[in-house]
């Protein structure tokens, strides 16, 4: 689930950030403000409406009920962050690519995408951590089919009415951090350059 959210949010955010940065169209500023306002809304305030929405679409007890909300909440941050990276690429570079015969698609994926890749890594880390540690959506939308639940939900088995198994809780929590550590090790160089570029911008 986390991998799906990371890949989908990165690709959609890259295309959206490129569109709002490179193209001039009506309501562009309004759209950017809407992305910003979306980050100000607490997740808890939308949990109940999302529950009814997922119920009406028949997505309860499915991974779709977890992927779609996380994708929606991670996209505004990713678009705003990637917008700075796309804006930092000189327009002269794009014009030179077109003069050399490159199509818009080729410029997008072979020139622009590698240049903003550190920013994609930085936003992907944010998406991965929030999705991996999800408890609220899993508790709200996964009602009966626990096989579709997240790892934080699995910690509930260690909580008993009379006594909690703190040893099991700590052991399971440690195991849960291993994929996160592996992910950080794989992307640490790109992450540092990505965060540095975001701060500089």
Tens-place pLDDT, residues 141-175? 887 766 677 778 878 878 887 888 888 888 888 88
Least confident interval from 20-34, 126-140, 182-196: 182-196
> In Å, how far are 19, 79, 130, 167 from 116, measured between CA atoms?
14, 12, 22, 43
Over residues 101-118, mean pLDDT: 88
| Chain Cα centroid distance, residue 152 | 18
Angle formed at CA 131 by CA 147 and CA 68, multiple of 5 degrees: 80
Q: Are 135 and 21 in contact (CB under 8 A)?
A: no
pLDDT score of 29: 83
Confidence of residue 195 (pLDDT cuts 50, 70, 90): low
Tell me the Ramachandran region of residue 61: left when phi exceeds 0, alpha when psi lies from -120 to 50, beta otherwise: left
Over residues 173-185, mean pLDDT: 83
Contacts of 40 (CB under 8 A, 6+ apart): none
| Number of neighbours of residue 51 by Cβ within 10 angstroms | 16
* Percent of the chain topping pLDDT 90: 8
The whole-angstrom separation of Cα 20 and Cα 87 is: 10
pLDDT score of 13: 92
pLDDT score of 175: 86
pTM for the predicted model, two decimal places = 0.79
CATH numbers and ranges of domains, the chain: 2-200 (1.10.3720.10)
| Number of neighbours of residue 165 by Cβ within 10 angstroms | 14
Angle formed at CA 130 by CA 128 and CA 132, multiple of 5 degrees: 60
């Amino acid at each position: 689930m986390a991998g799906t959210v990371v890949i989908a949010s990165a690709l959609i955010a890259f295309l959206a950030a490129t569109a709002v940065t490179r193209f001039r169209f009506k309501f562009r500023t309004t759209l950017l403000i809407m992305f910003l306002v979306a980050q100000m809304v607490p997740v808890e305030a939308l949990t109940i409406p999302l529950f009814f929405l997922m119920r009406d679409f028949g997505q309860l007890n499915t991974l779709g009920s977890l992927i779609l909300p996380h994708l929606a909440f991670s996209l505004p941050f990713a678009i705003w962050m990637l917008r700075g990276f796309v804006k930092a690429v000189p327009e002269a570079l794009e014009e030179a690519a077109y003069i050399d015969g490159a199509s818009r698609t080729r410029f997008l994926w072979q020139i622009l995408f590698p240049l903003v890749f550190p920013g994609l890594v930085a936003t992907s880390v944010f998406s991965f951590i929030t999705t991996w540690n999800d408890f609220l959506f899993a508790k709200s939308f996964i009602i009966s089919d626990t096989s579709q639940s997240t790892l934080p939900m699995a910690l509930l088995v260690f909580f008993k009415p009379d006594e909690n198994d703190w040893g099991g809780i700590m052991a399971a929590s440690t195991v849960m951090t291993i994929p996160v550590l592996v992910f950080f090790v794989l992307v640490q160089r790109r992450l540092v350059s990505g965060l540095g570029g975001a701060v500089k911008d």
